[in-house]
Structure 1
Amino acid sequence: MVDRNPWLNFLSHAVLLLGVAIVAFPLYLALVASTHTAQAIVQSPMPLLPGAHLWENYQAALFGSGKLGSNTNVVHMMWVSFVVAMVITVGKIAISLLSAFAIVYFRFPFKMLCFWAIFVTLMLPVEVRILPTYKVVADLGLLNSYAGLTLPLIASATATFLFRQFFLTVPDELVEAARMDGAGPMRFFIDVLVPLSRTSIAALFVIQFIYGWNQYLWPLLMTTSEDMYPVVIGIKRMLAGGEAAVDWNIVMATAIIAMLPPTAVVILMQKWFVKGLVDTEK
């Protein structure tokens, strides 16, 4: 038992506040920069208080600033990012649930070999196998498509492992009771295992949605058409190269807008996310 010491409480809160300040200050600067003109941002020192150009900067970011060389705007890029993130998230969870269900509750030859083959892929991230994956996707004609952006990223060894570990803790009595009631394998899966896994599903949903939303390297290789740019690639395209001036106010406004969907997901599902990670009784 830790003694309640006022000085220790003060010190712990001070350390926490310092950590929050270090993490949040760059975000605050981005928010401030999105409310000023481009000329004001590049001046020294940079303004540390919000300016008067918030509405026009965010309107330019949302409905087209011309920095992409076309009428492509943040609204369309965020739609692409949302579709990609949702397909990756739902696909990962669905495939991982089914694969873990098969590994735990079915008997078939080389079952453990299949499990370890899935588990070994954790040692091969997308960056390592990106060239052969790109070759396969290109040969199938899936460049500049939602299928090409999502299908190679759907399989998840991590989620499969987590669901397998949880299914192993489900009492065998539930399986016997479902069998006595005449429930088949899929009925047991849908009516028993999926509801029991809802907190784990919620936690993985948050993690995988942010993972899909922040994808950069794979969309960078997959997309050559501006209509298929996710918002992360769109922000990179706004950073002009060479001696061309960068509208940092529009870039920062776009970055703030791009943060809103994953932030909303974390806030709305925070309770389920924490419960899925720390609860012992799911």
Structure 2
Amino acid sequence: MIENRPILNIVSHVVLIFGVLIVALPIWITFVAATHDPVRMTQAPIPMLPGGYFWENFKQTLFGGGLSGTETAPVWRMLLNSLFMALMISFGKIAISLLSAFAIVYFKFPFRMGFFWLIFITLMLPVEVRILPTFEVVADLGMLNSYWGLSIPLIASATATFMFRQVFLTIPDEMLESARIDGAGPMRFFWDILIPLSRTNIAALFVILFIYGWNQYLWPLLITTETDMTTIVMSIKQMLEAAEQSPQWNIIMMTALLAMIPPVFVVVAMQRLFVQGLTETDK
């Protein structure tokens, strides 16, 4: 039985609305700043209502030269670089983690669990810890200023391997026996049974990994020396530094607004599968 407590409901909604306002206020200020001219954004107080320069700032930022005084690639190119990097990291991590979890769970070979724990221990070695040897390897392989150099060192994922291993362990052994009786080989069992049953978990992991790849800053900063390979997160930082000499906050905020669109689109488009993938505990 659910008790009706009007006062508690009112307090809960007030707290929820207050939290939403706190989270949404910086986004609103970013949007408002992207709709004004540069002169208005240098005057106090900061405007809280949209202006009439949205499309002008949009075209100047996305298809123009971006912020004057900075040596960066066009914003559309930086968005494309970040998109390629995020997609390569997401698909690469999911593919490698699925195959490694499949091998650990369904194949019996010497030191099987030892290899799993070696993979799991790498959680204690993030990119920041091993960044110098990783950079040297990438440089020796000639992958500087390339999408491969941006993505391959970030593809291996112990977290995703552990997650898919736990998912595969919940699948009844009867399914494996049935597949064997029907004459299905290991890869047929993998594609026709394991992948469909892991669909929601793959979607949830894809959302997390896409945002992880999109928000990368330190690794692209080290691996890229050409402006054509600059990512959008790097460019925002460079624009903020250049704003001290050329305070074009309308361009900076429009760039930040454009940088938010792909992650938001991925989360909204895959929201249902994302929630199911995080909440499902059995098959």
Give TM class, smaller chain: over 0.9
Query: 1:117 maps to what in 2?
Result: 118
Query: 1:54 maps to what in 2?
Result: 54
In structure 2, list runs of 5 or more residues that go unmatched: none
Q: Is the 8 A contact 2:72 2:227 kept in 1?
A: no
Greater CA deviation, 79-88 or 232-241? 232-241
Given residue 9 of structure 1, which amino acid in structure 2 is its aligned partner? Answer: N
Distance 1:52 1:83 in 2: 33
Greater CA deviation, 97-106 or 130-139? 130-139
Distance 1:163 1:60 in 2: 44
Query: Deviation of residue 246 (structure 1)?
Result: 2.3
Q: Is the 8 A contact 1:144 1:228 kept in 2?
A: yes
- Residues 182-237 of structure 1: per-residue CA shift (max 9 Å, x gap): 11111100111000000000000111111111111100111110100111112122
Distance 1:71 1:114 in 2: 43
Given residue 59 of structure 1, which amino acid in structure 2 is its aligned partner? Answer: K
Q: Is the 8 A contact 1:68 1:237 kept in 2?
A: no
Query: Deviation of residue 239 (structure 1)?
Result: 2.5
Given residue 3 of structure 1, which amino acid in structure 2 is its aligned partner? Answer: E
Distance 2:180 2:3 in 1: 53
1:172 aligns with 2:173: yes
- Residues 2-60 of structure 1: per-residue CA shift (max 9 Å, x gap): 63201111111111111111111011001101111222112111111111111111111
The total of aligned residue pairs comes to 282
Query: 1:210 maps to what in 2?
Result: 211
Distance 1:68 1:106 in 2: 58
Q: Is the 8 A contact 2:70 2:242 kept in 1?
A: no
1:199 aligns with 2:210: no
**Residues 1:257 and 1:174: Cα distance change in structure 2 (over 3 Å):** same
Given residue 169 of structure 2, which amino acid in structure 1 is its aligned partner? Answer: L
Q: Is the 8 A contact 2:79 2:232 kept in 1?
A: yes
Output the aligned Cα RMSD. Answer: 1.5
Query: Deviation of residue 70 (structure 1)?
Result: 5.5
Query: 1:67 maps to what in 2?
Result: 68
Greater CA deviation, 236-245 or 102-111? 236-245
Query: 1:35 maps to what in 2?
Result: 35
Query: 1:145 maps to what in 2?
Result: 146
Query: 2:134 maps to what in 1?
Result: 133
Query: 2:105 maps to what in 1?
Result: 104
Query: Deviation of residue 241 (structure 1)?
Result: 4.2
Q: Is the 8 A contact 1:33 1:248 kept in 2?
A: yes
Distance 1:120 1:277 in 2: 23
Identical columns (%): 61
Q: Is the 8 A contact 1:67 1:237 kept in 2?
A: no
Q: Is the 8 A contact 2:72 2:228 kept in 1?
A: no
Query: Deviation of residue 280 (structure 1)?
Result: 2.6
Distance 2:61 2:166 in 1: 45
Distance 2:262 2:278 in 1: 22
Distance 2:229 2:68 in 1: 16
TM-score by length of 1: 0.96
Q: Is the 8 A contact 1:238 1:246 kept in 2?
A: no
Given residue 44 of structure 1, which amino acid in structure 2 is its aligned partner? Answer: A
- Residues 98-138 of structure 1: per-residue CA shift (max 9 Å, x gap): 00000000111111110000001111111111111111111
Q: Is the 8 A contact 1:68 1:234 kept in 2?
A: no
Query: Deviation of residue 69 (structure 1)?
Result: 4.4
